[in-house]
Amino acid sequence: MKEQMQGLRESSVKAILACQSIEELEALRVKYLGKKGELTAILKQMGKLSAEERPVMGQLANQLRAEVEGALEKRKEELGREMMEKKLVDEAIDVTLPGVKQTVGHKHPMYNVLDQIKDIFIGMGFDIVDGPEVELAEYNFTKLNIEESHPSRDWTDTFYFTEDAKILLRTQTSPMQIHAMESRELPIRIIAPGRVYRKDEVDATHSPMFHQIEGMVIDKGITMADLKATLNLVVEKIYGEGTVTRFRPHHFPFTEPSCEMDIQCHKCGGKGCPTCKGEGWIEVLGAGMVHPKVLSGCGIDPDEYSGWAFGMGLERLAMGEYKISDLRLIFENDVRFLEQF
Ligand code: PHE
């Protein structure tokens, strides 16, 4: 037994000194001193000893335990110190090395234009509202007085999610008119910017995803004059005072009367140039007086209330303002292009 203890003393101290991590050290403690450890195994043989030998061996065993514990403790301290030193070396920062340049991005040019428009409308007391891009056909079409046979409902034009054509990606922000009328108290003054989707091939002026800004006012005594005055003001804020607009009759199922608004080309002043494709005018938006059927469908009495609405394309506006000639540049997100703005 004495020899066994001597053997354990030598092998354990050697192993502890060679140990390289706290985890390993803990494993050694279990190996030598644990309940199923080597020292316990030796002590199990105590029963075989005579009454005189037993206290002597017991004392030796206690001594051995204390030695191994002492060695473990010492190694633990050493390892802790070594680890700290290694950490200090590894994590040392050479303050003389040149730094890594952090590049700061900036807002996308189209969102600059959107922010500008938001500011203008906020200044006139409008709320900015957000709504779902995945929409019910009922809101995108039906409640907007767009009949079942209308070509814009066609599967070739609209992204549907379901065979029954009840759920779709909104093709316009106009369903936000319905959401606003159904959920807000009167009077209502909102703009609702957001993404819309149509099955268009990508080219210089088309994209299957683009952005619109919907605007709507519902109150007592609202007329077409309010629509024109508001839009003229907005255009002058964006393109400068004195910018000339023109309202042409048009047709939308959810407004009556309906119109399209053009601005006189800010580049050539109406003479005709590449920017306005020789027309002298640039089409900016569709608008009109909210159809009485749409109002009553949302529980608003058309005899008491009236309102106007407009919808405009944000990309086109940004392209005009920044003289961007190809729509794809707006979405490609090539920083070499975006950095210019
Ligand atoms: N939603 C129409 C479009 O996408 C634009 C519009 C909005 C027209 C509001 C009238 C009123 O073309």
Q: What is the pLDDT of residue 314?
A: 95
Task: Tell me the domains of the chain and their CATH numbers.
Answer: 2-90 (no CATH), 109-338 (3.30.930.10)
Cβ–ligand 1 contact at 287 (below 6 Å): yes
Tell me the best of 141, 251, 252 to mutate to test the pocket of ligand 1, counting ligand atoms within 8 Å of each CB and taking the most: 252
Residue with tokens 């997100």: 333
Which residue's alpha carbon is at the smallest distance from atom 5 of ligand 1?
311
What six digits make up the tokens of 23? 């985890």
Cβ–ligand 1 contact at 311 (below 6 Å): yes
| Gap from CA of 311 to ligand 1 centroid (Å) | 4
Q: What is the pLDDT of residue 166?
A: 96
Q: What is the pLDDT of residue 224?
A: 97
Which of ligand 1's atoms lies nearest the C-alpha of 171? 4
DSSP designation for 227:
H
22-33 helix and 2-18 helix, angle to the nearest 10 degrees: 170
Chain centre to alpha carbon of residue 136? 23
Query: pLDDT for 238-247, tens place per residue?
Result: 888 999 999 9
Which of ligand 1's atoms lies nearest the C-alpha of 290? 11
Q: What is the pLDDT of residue 171?
A: 98
Q: What is the pLDDT of residue 265?
A: 85
Cβ–ligand 1 contact at 230 (below 6 Å): no
Cβ–ligand 1 contact at 172 (below 6 Å): yes
Cβ–ligand 1 contact at 309 (below 6 Å): yes
Which of ligand 1's atoms lies nearest the C-alpha of 286? 8
Round to whole Å and give the CA distance between 36 and 311: 80
- Please work out, in degrees rounded to the nearest 5, the angle formed at the alpha carbon of residue 117 by the alpha carbons of 206 and 267: 65
Q: What is the pLDDT of residue 207?
A: 95
Query: pLDDT for 202-255, tens place per residue?
Result: 998 899 999 999 999 999 999 999 999 999 999 999 888 999 999 999 999 999
Which residue's alpha carbon is at the smallest distance from atom 4 of ligand 1?
172
- Average pLDDT across each block of 10 residues of the chain; the chain has 341 residues. List them in order: 85 88 88 88 84 85 88 89 90 87 89 96 98 98 96 94 96 98 98 97 93 98 98 92 95 98 87 87 95 98 98 92 90 91 88
Which of ligand 1's atoms lies nearest the C-alpha of 177? 9
Which of ligand 1's atoms lies nearest the C-alpha of 215? 9
Cβ–ligand 1 contact at 252 (below 6 Å): yes
Cβ–ligand 1 contact at 207 (below 6 Å): no
Alpha helices in the chain (DSSP H): 2-18, 22-33, 38-43, 53-90, 109-123, 137-140, 175-183, 224-239, 292-297, 314-322, 328-332, 335-338
Cβ–ligand 1 contact at 288 (below 6 Å): yes
Q: What is the pLDDT of residue 205?
A: 87
Cβ–ligand 1 contact at 131 (below 6 Å): no
